[in-house]
C-alpha cells in the first residue's frame, strides 16, 4: 500500500447512494474499509473493499455488535498531525483514517411501532457507529465525516479537485454532532418513558387537541418541579400553569404581597396582589359570603384576579403565590375552574379542592425554589427556536424615568405598584398586549391582537365593564332564586357592556334570571359613571406608535402610562399624554411573549 493512499471507513445503515460513493472513492484511489452489510453490498457490486478486520486483525463478534471498536480504527481517526501522534501510530503500525462514512440504526422508527419491547429497542442502540461518528467529528480539522447521504455528491466533487475544504469539513462535523445528539435524544426519550417513574416524565392524555397523541411533560436532567396532588393535567393545563406560576411568583417578589392569577389559553384573564377588599368589591366579585376572607390576603388576591374579567375566567387555571388557605379554597370551590397551582395547601383547603369535579379537579404543588434554565428551546414545525429566558425583573423602581410632565415628582406608591402589576402581567400575556390596572389588580387586558390600538381598545372596554359592575344598579340586582354564578356573570356582562338583547329567545333568557329586570344604562348614565373612574394605570409590552392609544386610554380614567420608547412617533405620543394630564413613564424594555 502506498503511504499516501487515503483511507475511508464506511459503515452505514441507510445505504442510499452508497454505490455511487464507493465508485467515486475507488476512482480517487481511496482504500475502502467497511463492515457487515455495508462491505457485502459494495463487494457484490464489484468494487474493491476490505473488511475492517483487515486492520484490526480481529473478527466481527457478538453477532456483529463489535466490529469497529478497536485502537486500529479509532487511533487512526483521532490522530492529529503531531509528531507525538505520528510516533504512536508508527509504533503500533496504524495508518491514519481520512474519511468516515457512517449513519445509524433507525431507533426512532423502531420505538414508534406498536408494542415494541425493551429488548427489541435495545437491539437498535448503535454503539460502534456513534463512536465512529463522534470520533471523526471531534477530529474534523483533519478527518471528513459524512453522516448524511445527501452530502456524498458534494464531497466527491471536492475530492476530485484534490481537497475537502475546511468549510465543508466544519459543516459535515456539525451535521454529525446533530445526528448523534438527535439519536441519543430519541434513546433517552424512550427510556425516560420506561424508567423515569413520574419524577422526570409525565404522560398526558393528549396535546392541545384530542387528536394530538402522544403527549408528555418531561425534564432532561432534574425531577419535574411540581407534584400532582389531585386530578390529571392536560397539555394546555400545564401551559397555563407554567406561565401563571412565574407571574404570581414575580408579583410576590416585586410587591411583597400574596399574588394570584387567573389564566385561560396561555394568557392571564386576571392578576392581582392581596390588598383589602371594600364591601362593594366583595359583592362585585361574588365573595361577600366567604368566611374569613377579611384576614386572608391570598383570598383577596384571588377574588380580585377572578373578578377582573369573570367571563374570561370561566374554566380558568389558577396560580397562587402562597400556601392555599381555607378562605381561598372556598372561593375556588364555588367557581368553574380547571385547576390550581400553588407552593402548598393547608390540609383542610386541600380537602375542599379534592371534592371539585367529583375528585378530578387538578391540584398541582409547585416547588417554590425551582428556577428554570436560562436558555429555553421550543420546536415549531420541526424547527428548534432558542432564546435566553425573559428574566428581566420588574419592580416599582422600574418606573422612575418620567417623560412627561417634565420635572414631575416621583410616582405615588399606588401608581408604581399598579404599573408593576400591569407590566409583570404583560410578561406572561400573548403579544401584542396592553394591560390596565388599579388597586393592585388587573382591570382590563387586551392580548394577542395584531395592532396596538386594538389591544388598547379591548383592554379599555374590559376595564370599562369592570367599572360599570360597581354601579348601584348592578350591585342591587335582584336575582331569581337558584341562578347560577356563570349565568349571573353573563347577565351582568350584557348589562355592563350595553350589549343587551332586544327581543326573541335571547331576551327571554336574559330576563329569566332576574326577579326584577334592571333597566339598560342610557348613554348619559354610562358617561356620568365612567367619569368617576380615575387613577388607572396602563402598561404596554411595546411602544405606543400612535396617539390614538393615548386617547383611548384616557377615556377609561387612565392617569399613568408605562411603555417602551423607540417609535418614530414618540414625541406626539408624549405631548398628547401631557395635554390629557397623563403621566408617561418610559420603562425601556420590550416584553413580547409568544
Catalytic residue positions, numbered: 138, 265
| C-beta neighbour count of 396 within 10 angstroms | 18
Three-class SS of residue 262?
Answer: strand
Lookup: cell for 78? 483521532
Question: Count of H helices and E strands in the chain?
Answer: 24, 21
DSSP letter, residue 294: G
Whether 424 contacts 251, CB under 8 Å? yes
* CA–CA separation, 311 and 468 (whole Å): 14
Cis peptide before 391 (omega within 30 of 0): no
DSSP letter, residue 66: B
Residue pointed to by grid coordinates 367557581: 335
Q: Rounded to 5 degrees, what are φ and ψ at 338?
A: -95, -25
DSSP letter, residue 503: S
Which residues have a Cβ under 8 Å from the Cβ of 291 and sit 6 or more positions away? 327, 330
* CA–CA separation, 113 and 520 (whole Å): 62
Three-class SS of residue 165?
Answer: coil
Own/partner contacts of 552-555, CB < 8 Å, gap of 24 or more, are: 552/453, 552/456, 552/457, 552/460, 553/436, 553/456, 553/460, 553/582, 554/580, 554/582, 555/460, 555/530
Given CA atoms 42, 44, 45, 49 in this order, what sign does their dihedral have?
Answer: positive
Amino acid at each position: 500500500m502506498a503511504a499516501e493512499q487515503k483511507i475511508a471507513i464506511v459503515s452505514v445503515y441507510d445505504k442510499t447512494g452508497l454505490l455511487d460513493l464507493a465508485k467515486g472513492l475507488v476512482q480517487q484511489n481511496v482504500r475502502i474499509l467497511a463492515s457487515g452489510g455495508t462491505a457485502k453490498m459494495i463487494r457484490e457490486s464489484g468494487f474493491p473493499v476490505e473488511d475492517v478486520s483487515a486492520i484490526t486483525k480481529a473478527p466481527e463478534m457478538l453477532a456483529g455488535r463489535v466490529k469497529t471498536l478497536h485502537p486500529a480504527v479509532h487511533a487512526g481517526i483521532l490522530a492529529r498531525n503531531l509528531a507525538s501522534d505520528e510516533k504512536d501510530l508508527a509504533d503500533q503500525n496504524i495508518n491514519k483514517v481520512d474519511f468516515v462514512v457512517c449513519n445509524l440504526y433507525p431507533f426512532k422508527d423502531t420505538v414508534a411501532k406498536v408494542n415494541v419491547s425493551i429488548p427489541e429497542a435495545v437491539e437498535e442502540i448503535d454503539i460502534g457507529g456513534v463512536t465512529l461518528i463522534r470520533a471523526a467529528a471531534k477530529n474534523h480539522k483533519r478527518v471528513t465525516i459524512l453522516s448524511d447521504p445527501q452530502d456524498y455528491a458534494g464531497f466527491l466533487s471536492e475530492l476530485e479537485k484534490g481537497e475537502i475544504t475546511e468549510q465543508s469539513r466544519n459543516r459535515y462535523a456539525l451535521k454529525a454532532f446533530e445526528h448523534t445528539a438527535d439519536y441519543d435524544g430519541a434513546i433517552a426519550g424512550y427510556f425516560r418513558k420506561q424508567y423515569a417513574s413520574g419524577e422526570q416524565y409525565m404522560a398526558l392524555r393528549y396535546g392541545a387537541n384530542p387528536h394530538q397523541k402522544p403527549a408528555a411533560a418531561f425534564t432532561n436532567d432534574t425531577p419535574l418541579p411540581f407534584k400532582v396532588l389531585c386530578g390529571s393535567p392536560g397539555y394546555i393545563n400545564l401551559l397555563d400553569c407554567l406561565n401563571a406560576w412565574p407571574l404570581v411568583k414575580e408579583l410576590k417578589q416585586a410587591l411583597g404581597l400574596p399574588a394570584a392569577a387567573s389564566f385561560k389559553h396561555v394568557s392571564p384573564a386576571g392578576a392581582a396582589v392581596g390588598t383589602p377588599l371594600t364591601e362593594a368589591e366583595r359583592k362585585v366579585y361574588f365573595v361577600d359570603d366567604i368566611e374569613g376572607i377579611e384576614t386572608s390576603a391570598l383570598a383577596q388576591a384571588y377574588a380580585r384576579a377572578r373578578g377582573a374579567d369573570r367571563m374570561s375566567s370561566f374554566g380558568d387555571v389558577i396560580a397562587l403565590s402562597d400556601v392555599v388557605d381555607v378562605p381561598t379554597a372556598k372561593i375556588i370551590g364555588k367557581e368553574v375552574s380547571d385547576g390550581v397551582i400553588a407552593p402548598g395547601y393547608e390540609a383542610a383547603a386541600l380537602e375542599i379542592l379534592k371534592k371539585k369535579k367529583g375528585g378530578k379537579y387538578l391540584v398541582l404543588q409547585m416547588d417554590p425554589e425551582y428556577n428554570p434554565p436560562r436558555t429555553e428551546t421550543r420546536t415549531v414545525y420541526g424547527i428548534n427556536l432558542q432564546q435566553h429566558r425573559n428574566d428581566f425583573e420588574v419592580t416599582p423602581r422600574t418606573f422612575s424615568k418620567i417623560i412627561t410632565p417634565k420635572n414631575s415628582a416621583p410616582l405615588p406608591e399606588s401608581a408604581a405598584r399598579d404599573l408593576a402589576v400591569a407590566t409583570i402581567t404583560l410578561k406572561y400575556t400573548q403579544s401584542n398586549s396592553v394591560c390596565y390596572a388599579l388597586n393592585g389588580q388587573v382591570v382590563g387586558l387586551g392580548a394577542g391582537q395584531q395592532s396596538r390600538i386594538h389591544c388598547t381598545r379591548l383592554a379599555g372596554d374590559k376595564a370599562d365593564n369592570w367599572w360599570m359592575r360597581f354601579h348601584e344598579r348592578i350591585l342591587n340586582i335582584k336575582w331569581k332564586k337558584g341562578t347560577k354564578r356563570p349565568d349571573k356573570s353573563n347577565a351582568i356582562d350584557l348589562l355592563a357592556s350595553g350589549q343587551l338583547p332586544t327581543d326573541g329567545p335571547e331576551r327571554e333568557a336574559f330576563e329569566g334570571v332576574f326577579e326584577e329586570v334592571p333597566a339598560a344604562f342610557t348613554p348619559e348614565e354610562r358617561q356620568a359613571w365612567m367619569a368617576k373612574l380615575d387613577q388607572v394605570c396602563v402598561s404596554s409590552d411595546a411602544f405606543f406608535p400612535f396617539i390614538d392609544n393615548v386617547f383611548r386610554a384616557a377615556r377609561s380614567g387612565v392617569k399613568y402610562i408605562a411603555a417602551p420608547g423607540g417609535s418614530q412617533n414618540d414625541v406626539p405620543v408624549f405631548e398628547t399624554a401631557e395635554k390629557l394630564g397623563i403621566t408617561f413613564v418610559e420603562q425601556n424594555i420590550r416584553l413580547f411573549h409568544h
